Structure 1
Amino acid sequence: MAPGVTGRTRPTKPKKLQHAQKRKRDDVDVEKLQQAVAELDTSTPFKDFTDLPLSDPTKAGLKASHFVTLTDIQARAIPLALKGMDILGAAKTGSGKTLAFVIPVLENLYRGQCVGPDAGLCAMIISPTRELAIQIFDVLYKVGRKGHLFAAGLVIGGKSLREEQDALARMNIVVCTPGRMLQHLSQTAMLNVDNLKMLVLDEADRILDMGFQRDLDAILDYLPKDRQTLLFSATQTRKVSDLARLSLRDPEYISVHESAASATPQNLQQNYVLTPLSEKLDTLWSFLQNSKKEKTVVFLSSGKQVRFVYEAFCKMQPGIPLLHLHGRQKQTARLDITAKFSAAKTSCLFATDVAARGLDFPAVDWVVQVDCPEDADTYIHRVGRTARYERNGKAVLFLDPSEEEGMLKRLEAKKVPIERINVKQKKKTSIKNQLANLCFKDPQLKYLGQKAFTSYVKSIHIQKDREIFDLNKLPLEEFAASLGLPGAPRIRFMKGDNSKALKNAPRAALVSDSEESGDASDAEDVEPKAKAKKAGVRTKYDRMFERTNQDVLADHYAKLIRDDEASSDHGEEFNGEQVPDDTFLSVKRRIDVDTELHSGDDVPGLRPKKIVHIAGAKQPILVDSKRAEKRLSSKKKLLKYKDKGERLVFDDEGKAHPIYELESEEKFRGQGMPEEQRKKFVEAEREKVAKADVGDKELVRAKRREKKEKRKERERREAVEELRLTDGAGATTNSALDDFLQDAGSDGASQVSERPQKKQKKWFQDASDDEAVPRKKKAKFQEPETLEDLESLAAGFLN
């Protein structure tokens, strides 16, 4: 080989130079950018992204993503955020709020050179749902892929915790959900948030409400106070308590549509239909039949309702692709469903409020709200899935007559224009009989219908706005019939308001009349003892032993208890102790072991006695038999005489101390106030419990996974066995789909009666049995009374 020529066919990559560039950005003109940002006039209206002092990588990313013109919220929020100010941003749905905080995050970290694992985590973007977090991360990737060297990551539930822990140590920007981020802050040792410079809350009003309040408060305890905080939402919060929790510093409130005539986009056509609860599914089915070439999102109040409507409509085949999305699904399934719906031209997505906020589904034509939203803000976010970025859209809301007045008041207060429309009765079809037939044939679908009914009633029961949601005004029996159920399922909380009080009432209060008419002296004896028991802490075992049979022998049981208590007060006294009279074996004389025993030689006929001292035993052992001598040679039996060992803890100096050792009063006071020590102890124990809880949850998941695999294997074997038997018998049966297609060919209101199928022949029958005359019912046998009856019976047997 010639000198100076290597065996490589490709040029060597300058890896060391590239690595050095990632750690140090020498080509960044930070001073020039900072001076341009300082000279930026926020009062000047900006129209294009090129008018802003942005870095070259950000400009390249915006150009590659075809972002040219600024929206209203972006033109007002980005200049202020570049200057490092805290912002409360409120704008209509679909107005480009994501770019309003993604660009300041990239630019502020770019000027601060927060690159590489040494910089740590510098920016945190929190969203309420996983789908929204994935969408934000996609926008961040598109804008920052053309030259930015930040390490950005997505931390949401449903993925491997160990992989996220390894990656978090190298991240500079993280997009996350509150629950998962709190788990990493409390369990990931390599995560350092001391250098955090920016915190962004997307859909801030949802994160700040009761659903995420505890998680967010715990996250804020870990974060430094001197940070920049950005809050964005379509319905922004301005509560002083919420802003105080976030430690905002003179925030700028930006509401570009506050003076607008409506809180929803102008290109959105909003209507509502007055539909009774029992007819909502009929109206939804008729709507889908008339909009097969459009893209629709249907919102329901609970995940069980979503699953039932999806399964039922799939069996009925409406002629349009159906999808469903709810929080109970696995993360991979949720990602596949959102990707399929985004790519589809015509489809229908049944979803809960997990899809109501921030998700950008392209070209959605209709938003149908079958169940009434809990408030006007939820309505605004739901209808925001359509009419995005100045496109046209339509939304319709199904309202029960009991919900109309209250909901219209709430929408009017939020400046939401809505108009009532009617459904053409000629195009409306009823599917109650079809659903009843499906539930009759498929027990699993019937079970889903029962769960859907229960979840809907509970969702109405827990609503705070009683002016809109009144459970007593809803026709629950008719609603159950509309789901195809034979009757309304029983719900526990509907037994009465005092059912819980009656369940927790003490058993002593449920005495019979005969017990109440007892002697006053007995009552006087029992009352002080009852009061004494109530004064202490009553455990579940105390309550268990206090129970009495309320139906049989209740009075007799009470008398027995009283007799036992009375007898314990009397008895024979011996050596200062009470000895009950009714004991079968009672001690009458006790002889203590004399420590100075004489040998057995002095007393003829007795075995010699001796006392043995064992290390670890406080009392000596008397050896007066061969069995006792044999006991000394067994370590296991000697444990009964030895005292239990004490666990010791060694300090830094090597001195042993008991685990529970009382401290001196001066040392105790030196550690701080008792309340502070209690908080420290509770916090330390909470961390231990959290660590143990992670292992327990992993064990439970493994057991569930193993159980599920066994069930699938058993179902697979049963299916194979059933298929083998069916093929062997030569019987051909129509599938459930063929049966449904025969029924679907008829009118929706009428059902074709099916012919009864012939029973399959047994192995011992032949074809001649079909032609045989069916057997008559055997007459009842009567015993012969006379001799003539016996003769006729015998002749019958002989024939």
Structure 2
Amino acid sequence: MGSRNPKRKPLSRKEKREQEFNEIDNLEAKCEELSLKDREFVNFYELPLSSKTLKGLNSVHYLEMTEIQRKALPVALNGRDVLGAAKTGSGKTLAFLIPLIELLYRKKWTQFDGLGALVIAPTRELAVQIFEVLRAIGRQHSLSAGLVIGGKNVNIEQERISRMNILICTPGRLLQHMDQTVGFDCSNLQMLVLDEADRILDLGFEKTVNAIIENLPKQRQTLLFSATQTKSVKDLARLSLKNPAYVAVHEKSEYSTPQRLAQHYIICPLPQKLDYLFSFIKSHLKSKVLVFLSSCKQVRFVFETFCKMHPGVPLLHLHGKQKQTKRVEIFNKFSNMKCAYLFATDIAARGLDFPAVDWVIQVDAPEDAETYIHRVGRTARYEASGQGLLLLLPSEEEAMIDALKAKKVPIEKINVKSSKIISIQNQLQSLCFRDPEIKYLGQKAFKSYMRSVYLQKNKLIFKVDELPAEKYAESLGLPGTPKIKFIKKSETKNAIRQRPKQVSESERTTDEEDKHYQKLIDHEGDKIAIDSEDGDLLSLKRIDHELPDELEQKTSEPTSKRKLLKATSKKLWAKDSKKGQKLIYDDEGNPHQVYELQDEREFLAAGAPVVQKQAFVEKELTAMKNQDAIDKRIAKEKRRQKKLKYKAKLKAEMEAQELGPKTVLISPQSEDDEYQESQEEAVQLDKLDDIKSYGNKRNIESLQSDKATSDQEEYDGKQVRKDNKRAKILEVEEPETLEDHEKLALQLLNGF
């Protein structure tokens, strides 16, 4: 028997490190030479990639490069900024993930170096998909990667985000961590990647992206990829791109969509859209179809109603109002199903890779040609085939087809047999009648569609005035057309609504008061006449206030029950953010805020802050002293008036006693209590004045001692007992006989 080959000894840690360093040096040299070569690369192993990256690509069976990868990877590996534009499903994700991993590997990046690469995606689903691809091809590397998107626990992300080398994120959540997470540092960033860059750089994310860019270093490599790439100088300038290489695949090609994608459109009246869609579902029960609608409420209404009608195929729905866990669950479920229909908004239009989608149906027209390309790109990905169907209204056909042809989109018109169309209007009416929730969803779907058409920028395509609103509401099963505030109503309807209601003969009253009231008020014209015996004595003319058209239109509409309830409910009013503001008025009657902020320039122009402060304090002290003097004079005058009043009363009583019969005042408290009360008030006021003027402790103690008086006082030569209770006075004639004394005693006993 022959001798066996001895087993290789495993490499030591030192040998592995030396081998890795040698590989990195070779890769650096080869990447610098890439710009000097004009050859076309076909396979991944022909590029200067690390062995770990090649093993990861082989594990997921990525061997041959696509066209965008052949053009973008050499430039990105060389360290240049890249603007990549390629058809949907052409492999753009690998075109930026491979340079990202290789850059950090060549720089020997570790967890102690912090954040090295950042990938920003417009939607959560696309970010999840990129993260899964990164995990697949980078499993051999020792780099740490994290997924930061909305809908997840922020506290858990804050604990781990500072240890991540690569972040896949959405703009909003990334900015939140930049503002709130302690220890999150982007100052050492090496590469920034924007997937679907045209969507991220548009007006919807402008403020967020600008705030993110301010926190990133300018010395970095930037890669931008999209199916419809932006060339705006303004966008490229704020990203600090340096001599970017524009890599476009479909610029020289005949069409901007995949060749294996068959695209068609049909002309469909608005009230029959759901009939066309339901008929398509019944005739394609073994297909995997993605259906696009313009709003979340439309998606939910169509999903709920079609599920109750049992078309015979699984139905799913995906929109932005769902929770993140639910969205991921629906995304995975639809990806694994062979036959299903997914109703979705434009949240599923960009970058998502649903395998084996047969049809893409656009029930509502896209906002522009770029959105159409992204929507229809969910099918015919890579080398697969697919079909697209677009439903257009008669008013949308001409402008939309011209826009698509300008973007090199080949689309053909097809006709539909009217005999094959299934009408579902009666079924929808029955559902709305039996289920109030379906009716409510239908009303919301109607309003959201009309609003989406009204808010579109391209008014050549979207003409809200030409939409048959009443028939569309009937097609949804609604008993009436919901009111739409933002659409101007015809002048005839406004005239009918504003015309005063005519009272029939049976409703008129013959009461004299009503006749008199009718004489007082003249409803003709803009005058109110008040009749009298001499004719028109007074004539009050109404002021005709001119209101804006929008405000006048709102005031003409009847108030809804919900608004009336909100106006009368304190709880609903308290929750309303638009509450009244407190205002103060100056001497001229002009309103001002309670606290008004002064402009900084005006404040500094008035003088130094210390001088202004001293002047303000002196002014207020002077005002306080003047007010104190006025208060003292008023208090002194009040005390004097009380004394004069008491003296006049006492004098009147003394004169009455001298003129009238002799009387004896018997009371626990004499009449001079009023004088005592006035005296006590005077003492208190004098006490306050003395405290303000002197502030002496001895003076305060002496004033407190003056307050204590004796419990008994003499009045008319007799002792009168004081009590805290109200005084009782009994006036009697002077007793002369024994019977008079007994009678007086009984009166005293009964009184006390």
The structure 2 residue matched to 1:247, chosen from 234, 240, 244, is 240
The structure 1 residue matched to 2:64, chosen from 56, 60, 69, is 69
Secondary structure of 1:335 counterpart: helix
Counterpart-to-counterpart distance in 2, 1:178 and 1:250: 25
The structure 1 residue matched to 2:196, chosen from 189, 197, 203, is 203
Q: Equivalent residue for 1:133?
A: 127
Change in CA separation of 1:626 and 1:447 when aligned onto 2, cut-off 3 Å? farther
After TM superposition, the score normalised by the length of structure 1 is 0.63
The structure 1 residue matched to 2:414, chosen from 408, 421, 429, is 421
Residue 446 of structure 1 pairs with residue 494 of structure 2: no
Q: Which amino acid aligns with 1:110?
A: Y
Deviation at residue 29 of structure 1 after TM alignment: 2.9
Deviation at residue 264 of structure 1 after TM alignment: 0.7
Q: Which amino acid aligns with 2:98?
A: I
Change in CA separation of 1:612 and 1:472 when aligned onto 2, cut-off 3 Å? closer
Counterpart-to-counterpart distance in 1, 2:693 and 2:104: 70
Secondary structure of 2:152 counterpart: coil
Q: Equivalent residue for 1:559?
A: none
Change in CA separation of 1:423 and 1:337 when aligned onto 2, cut-off 3 Å? same
Q: Which amino acid aligns with 1:313?
A: F
Q: Equivalent residue for 2:257?
A: 264
8 Å Cα contact 1:267-1:387 kept in structure 2: yes
Secondary structure of 1:446 counterpart: helix
Residue 367 of structure 1 pairs with residue 415 of structure 2: no
CA offsets per residue over residues 494-517 of structure 1, 9 Å max, x none?
Answer: 35699xxxxxxxxxxxx9756997
Q: Equivalent residue for 1:589?
A: 637
The structure 1 residue matched to 2:463, chosen from 465, 470, 490, is 470
Residue 383 of structure 1 pairs with residue 381 of structure 2: no
Counterpart-to-counterpart distance in 1, 2:64 and 2:137: 15
Counterpart-to-counterpart distance in 2, 1:576 and 1:81: 84
8 Å Cα contact 1:205-1:237 kept in structure 2: yes
Q: Return 5+ residue gaps in structure 2 as ranges.
A: 1-9, 492-524, 530-537, 542-584, 597-626, 641-674, 709-752
The structure 1 residue matched to 2:42, chosen from 41, 44, 47, is 47
8 Å Cα contact 2:266-2:391 kept in structure 1: yes
Q: Equivalent residue for 1:4?
A: none
Secondary structure of 1:298 counterpart: strand
Change in CA separation of 1:115 and 1:518 when aligned onto 2, cut-off 3 Å? same
Change in CA separation of 1:316 and 1:242 when aligned onto 2, cut-off 3 Å? same
8 Å Cα contact 1:42-1:76 kept in structure 2: no
Residue 310 of structure 1 pairs with residue 358 of structure 2: no
Residue 344 of structure 1 pairs with residue 337 of structure 2: yes
Q: Which amino acid aligns with 2:123?
A: T
Secondary structure of 2:167 counterpart: strand
Q: Equivalent residue for 2:569?
A: none
Secondary structure of 1:368 counterpart: strand
CA offsets per residue over residues 269-311 of structure 1, 9 Å max, x none?
Answer: 0000100000000000000000000000000000000000000
Deviation at residue 491 of structure 1 after TM alignment: 1.9
Counterpart-to-counterpart distance in 1, 2:78 and 2:229: 22
8 Å Cα contact 2:87-2:258 kept in structure 1: yes
Change in CA separation of 1:39 and 1:538 when aligned onto 2, cut-off 3 Å? same
Deviation at residue 535 of structure 1 after TM alignment: 7.3
Q: Equivalent residue for 1:83?
A: 78
Q: Which amino acid aligns with 1:307?
A: R
Q: RMSD value over aligned CA atoms?
A: 3.7
Secondary structure of 1:318 counterpart: coil
Q: Equivalent residue for 1:29?
A: 23
Change in CA separation of 1:24 and 1:615 when aligned onto 2, cut-off 3 Å? farther
The structure 1 residue matched to 2:87, chosen from 60, 84, 92, is 92
Q: Which amino acid aligns with 1:264?
A: T
Counterpart-to-counterpart distance in 1, 2:215 and 2:406: 38
Deviation at residue 538 of structure 1 after TM alignment: 9.7
Counterpart-to-counterpart distance in 1, 2:279 and 2:137: 43
Residue 297 of structure 1 pairs with residue 297 of structure 2: no
- How many residues get paired? 541
Change in CA separation of 1:34 and 1:432 when aligned onto 2, cut-off 3 Å? same
8 Å Cα contact 2:265-2:391 kept in structure 1: yes
Q: Equivalent residue for 2:268?
A: 275
The structure 2 residue matched to 1:480, chosen from 473, 478, 496, is 473
Q: Which amino acid aligns with 1:317?
A: H
Change in CA separation of 1:616 and 1:184 when aligned onto 2, cut-off 3 Å? farther
Deviation at residue 589 of structure 1 after TM alignment: 3.0
Deviation at residue 611 of structure 1 after TM alignment: 4.9
8 Å Cα contact 2:691-2:700 kept in structure 1: no
Deviation at residue 493 of structure 1 after TM alignment: 2.0
Deviation at residue 591 of structure 1 after TM alignment: 6.2
Q: Equivalent residue for 1:142?
A: 136
Change in CA separation of 1:246 and 1:190 when aligned onto 2, cut-off 3 Å? same
Counterpart-to-counterpart distance in 1, 2:159 and 2:347: 29
CA offsets per residue over residues 760-783 of structure 1, 9 Å max, x none?
Answer: xxxxxxxxxxxxxxxxxxxxxxxx
Task: Percent identity, please.
Answer: 53
Q: Which amino acid aligns with 2:637?
A: R
8 Å Cα contact 1:25-1:113 kept in structure 2: no
Q: Equivalent residue for 1:331?
A: 324
Counterpart-to-counterpart distance in 2, 1:231 and 1:360: 19
Q: Which amino acid aligns with 1:190?
A: G
Change in CA separation of 1:60 and 1:628 when aligned onto 2, cut-off 3 Å? farther
8 Å Cα contact 1:49-1:70 kept in structure 2: yes
Counterpart-to-counterpart distance in 1, 2:705 and 2:292: 85
Secondary structure of 1:29 counterpart: helix
Q: Which amino acid aligns with 1:82?
A: L
Counterpart-to-counterpart distance in 2, 1:83 and 1:168: 29
8 Å Cα contact 2:316-2:343 kept in structure 1: yes
8 Å Cα contact 1:613-1:619 kept in structure 2: no
Counterpart-to-counterpart distance in 2, 1:486 and 1:364: 37
Residue 109 of structure 1 pairs with residue 104 of structure 2: yes
Q: Equivalent residue for 1:234?
A: 227
Q: Return 5+ residue gaps in structure 1 as ranges.
A: 1-13, 499-510, 520-528, 541-573, 579-585, 593-602, 630-799
8 Å Cα contact 2:23-2:50 kept in structure 1: no
Counterpart-to-counterpart distance in 1, 2:706 and 2:425: 84
For the pair shown, the structure with the greater C-alpha radius of gyration is: 2
Change in CA separation of 1:134 and 1:604 when aligned onto 2, cut-off 3 Å? closer
Residue 407 of structure 1 pairs with residue 400 of structure 2: yes
8 Å Cα contact 1:57-1:148 kept in structure 2: yes
What is the correspondence of 1:282-681 to structure 2 with a 5 Å cutoff?
282-494=275-487, 532-533=588-589, 536=592, 589=637, 611=687
Counterpart-to-counterpart distance in 2, 1:399 and 1:617: 89
Change in CA separation of 1:513 and 1:221 when aligned onto 2, cut-off 3 Å? farther
Secondary structure of 1:169 counterpart: helix
Q: Equivalent residue for 1:676?
A: none
Q: Equivalent residue for 1:706?
A: none
CA offsets per residue over residues 351-408 of structure 1, 9 Å max, x none?
Answer: 0000000000000000000001000000000000000002110000000001111111
Deviation at residue 489 of structure 1 after TM alignment: 0.5
Q: Which amino acid aligns with 1:35?
A: A
8 Å Cα contact 1:298-1:348 kept in structure 2: yes
Counterpart-to-counterpart distance in 1, 2:694 and 2:375: 76
Counterpart-to-counterpart distance in 2, 1:125 and 1:618: 76
Q: Equivalent residue for 1:160?
A: 153
CA offsets per residue over residues 599-637 of structure 1, 9 Å max, x none?
Answer: xxxx999678785899999978978679999xxxxxxxx
